[in-house]
Amino acid sequence: MCFSLSCASHHPITCIIPPHMLRVLALRGDESTARMARSLLKQTEKLRDERNEHATTGPGPHGDFAGLEAQARSDDGSLCCPDRRIHDGEFKAALPGRLLRQEGDPSAGDRDVDLAYDGAGDVFSLFAEEYGRNSLDGAGMPLIATVRHRRNYNNAFWDGSQMAYGTGDGQVFRTFLELSVIGHEMAHGVIQHSGGLIYENQSGALNESIADVFGSLALQRRLGQQVHEADWLVGRGILGPGINGTALRSMKAPGTAYADDMLGQDPQPWHMDQFLTTSDDNGGVHINSGIPNHAFYLFCNYVGGRSWELPGRVWYRALQRLNNPMATFADWADQTMSAATDLAGPGSFETVLLRRAWKLVGIGI
């Protein structure tokens, strides 16, 4: 066994939304909220059963962050291992497809498979080594991915239990196997297992933004980049050769990633004054995410150094403490302030810089 049984007793979900609140949400929430509440209740019940099962073997309670860090460590204290399983979709829609490479296997000699395998390892390592998280669910779940999903498929997604990557059609997209994209999709899994953020309007845009943040941090950490060395692009190089654009999104300069006859102009705002109210794209989740994305970039820029360190820890801690699947941008900003205060101290330079970053995008805290 890689991991101690303490994982089960510190699953983030158990700390996020109290069951009584979930039951109220399941009864009184609108359709999507009620669905999420029912799903979380099921997971909570499962975890309670697991915890009871292991009650005699688990250690006592940890302090918050120390406890989280302990999750990704094996009994001998060393950081433990991902469990990657990369499948070939063979251009069909059924998931997960044919298993081509699993943990410990040598390179498959298949570029897509190897990129998915290595990328999953980098993202696992970010969450485990920097934030003490054992895989996407905090309890060592396998990292299942399918490459070559569907034919000419212009998308990548997290389906609730695995990642899937299309090849692109060669015109609009040329690939989706790029580390910030892989990190983005895997971060959706982390968000889901951290209490979730309902995928519409502001909470949906936060879901998207947090996925972009950890996708970008996975890439920056892989490249060993300081804040000023990073390009802060999500999906750099994945657009097709005929598309006038460099990436899907820019966290440094939202709205500038592409300007193309076919795709139009990158619609992302960076300030609340340009917040877009729309019914498309689940209420503009990939559009308005530019605002919290830019706040994170500004915070990193002010702090300097490696962004996956203090800024990443602040964002990760805020996600674990959010406790609100319907959070607004203002709720999230407040939560990041609490996390920064916990980690850097009340009245610290870092908390002042964070407040300034949020203010610059039009969110006062």
Partner 1 sequence: MDAIAGGCIAMIIEIAAQGGIGGFAAPNLNKRIDVDQQSTQLRRELCKVFGPEQLARLARTPCNACADRLIYRITIIQGSAAPRNFTLREDQLPAQMLDLLDQF
- Contacts to Zn ion from residues 211-240, by CB under 5 A: 211
- From the CB of 215, what's the least distance to partner 1, in Å? 10
Query: Peptide bond preceding 96: is omega within 30 degrees of 0, i.e. cis?
Result: yes
Note whether 176 binds partner 1 by CB under 8 A: yes
Which of 3, 332 has the CB closer to Zn ion? 332
Q: How far apart are CA 243 and CA 74, in angstroms?
A: 47
The binding track of 9-38 with respect to Zn ion, each residue x by CB under 5 A or -, is: ------------------------------
Which of 179, 211 has the CB closer to Zn ion? 211
Note whether 114 binds partner 1 by CB under 8 A: no
Pairing of strands 163-165, 143-147: parallel
Catalytically active residues, by annotation: 185, 286
Pairing of strands 84-88, 143-147: parallel
- From the CB of 70, what's the least distance to partner 1, in Å? 28
Which of 62, 92 has the CB closer to partner 1? 92
**Could you tell me how many residues of this chain bind Zn ion (CB under 5 A)?**
1
Name the segment binding Zn ion (CB under 5 A); options: 52-60, 121-129, 205-213, 299-307: 205-213
- Contacts to Zn ion from residues 288-327, by CB under 5 A: none
DSSP code, position 130: I
The single residue among 92, 174, 271, 359 that binds partner 1, judged by CB under 8 A, is 92
Name the segment binding partner 1 (CB under 8 A); options: 18-26, 53-61, 136-144, 169-177: 169-177
End-to-end CA distance of the chain: 45
Q: How far apart are CA 178 and CA 238, in angstroms?
A: 7
List the one residue out of 28, 13, 33 whose CA is nearest residue 203: 33
- From the CB of 121, what's the least distance to partner 1, in Å? 21
Note whether 95 binds partner 1 by CB under 8 A: yes
Note whether 27 binds partner 1 by CB under 8 A: no
Q: How far apart are CA 73 and CA 215, in angstroms?
A: 23
DSSP code, position 61: P
Q: Which region holds residue 229: left if phi is over 0, alpha if psi is between -120 and 50, else beta?
A: alpha
The binding track of 32-71 with respect to partner 1, each residue x by CB under 8 A or -, is: x--x---x--------------------------------
Half-sphere exposure of 185 (CA within 13 A, CB side): 27
Residue 113 is which amino acid? V
DSSP codes, 84-121? EEEEE-TT-SSSS-EEEEETTPPP-S-HHHHHHHHHHH
Q: Which does 207 bind (CB under 5 to 8 A by kind): partner 1, Zn ion, none?
A: partner 1
Element (H, E) at 49: helix 31-53
Q: How far apart are CA 182 and CA 22, in angstroms?
A: 31
The binding track of 139-158 with respect to Zn ion, each residue x by CB under 5 A or -, is: --------------------
Helix (H, G, I), strand (E, B) or coil at 354: helix
Which of 135, 192 has the CB closer to Zn ion? 192
The single residue among 52, 57, 107, 155 that binds partner 1, judged by CB under 8 A, is 155
- Give me the phi and psi of 102, to 5 degrees please: -125, 175
The binding track of 230-269 with respect to partner 1, each residue x by CB under 8 A or -, is: -----x------------x-------------xxx--x--
Pairing of strands 98-102, 264-265: unpaired
Note whether 123 binds Zn ion by CB under 5 A: no
Residue spans of beta strands (DSSP E) within 231-358 = 233-234, 249-250, 259-260, 264-265
Which of 86, 197 has the CB closer to Zn ion? 197
Site residues (CB under 8 A) for partner 1?
A: 31-32, 35, 39, 91-95, 150-161, 169, 171-172, 176, 181, 184-185, 188, 192, 199, 207-208, 211, 235, 248, 262-264, 267, 280-282, 284-287
Site residues (CB under 5 A) for Zn ion?
A: 211
